[in-house]
Structure 1
Amino acid sequence: MFRFIRPTLNEFIDLLFPQLCFGCDKPLEFSEKVLCTPCRINLPETGHHCEPYDQNLLNKFAGKVPIQFLASYLYFNKGGIVQKLIHGIKYKGYKEAAKEIASWYGHQLKLENRFVKDIDVILGVPLHKSRLQQRGYNQADWIADGLAESLGIPFRTDVLIRQQFKASQTHKNRLERWENVKTVFAVVDKESIKGKHVLVVDDVLTTGATLEACAQELLKAGCGAVSVITLAVAGK
Structure 2
Amino acid sequence: MLLTTLRFLTAHALSALAEPRCCACEAPVPLETVFCGPCATTLVEVDGGGDPRRVEAAAFAYGGALRDAIVRFKYGGRDDLARPLGALLCRLRAPVALARPGVLVPVPSHASRLASRGYEPSALLGRALAEAVGAPLLVDGLVKTAPSPAQAGLDRRARLSNLAGSLRCQRPGVLRGVRVVLVDDVRTTGATLAACTAALEEAGAHVLGHAVLAAAEP
TM range (shorter): 0.7 to 0.9
1:22 counterpart residue number: 23
User: Per the alignment, in what secondary structure is the counterpart of residue 217 of structure 1?
Assistant: helix
* Percent of aligned pairs with the same amino acid: 29
- Report whether the alignment pairs 1:140 with 2:122: yes
Secondary structure in 2 aligned to 1:215?
A: helix
The Cα shift of 1:113 comes to 2.9
- Structure with bigger gyration radius: 1
Conserved? CA contact 1:103–1:149, under 8 Å: no
For 2:199, the aligned partner's letter is E
The answer for the alignment partner of 2:32 in structure 1 is 32
The size of the alignment, in residue pairs, is: 204
| Post-superposition offset of 1:167 | 1.7
List per-residue Cα deviations over 1:160-198 (Å, max 9, x = no partner): 100111222113222110101021111111121111111
Match of 2:55 among 65, 69, 79: 69
Instruction: Give the Cα–Cα distance (whole angstroms) in 1 for the partners of residues 75 and 62 of structure 2.
Output: 16
Deviates more, 1:221-230 or 1:113-122: 113-122
Change (3 A) 1:116 1:38: farther
Q: TM-score, normalised by structure 1?
A: 0.76
RMSD: 2.6
1:103 pairs, out of 70, 77, 87, with: 87
State TM-score, norm by structure 2. Answer: 0.82
Using the alignment, how far apart are the partners of 1:103 and 1:13 within structure 2?
19
Match of 1:233 in 2: 215
Q: Which residue of 1 aligns with 2:134?
A: 152
Residues in 1 aligned to 2:123 and 2:44: alpha-carbon distance in whole angstroms: 23
The 2-side partners of 1:86 and 1:211 are apart by 18
In structure 2, relative to structure 1, the CA distance for the partners of 1:235 and 1:68 (3 Å cut) is: closer
Summarize the alignment of residues 6-17 of structure 1 with structure 2, pairs less than 5 Å apart. Answer: 13-14=17-18
Unaligned runs of 5+ in 2: 1-13
Deviation at residue 76 of structure 1 after TM alignment: 1.3
CA contact (8 A) 2:97 2:133 kept: no
Contact 1:197-1:227 at 8 Å conserved across structures: no
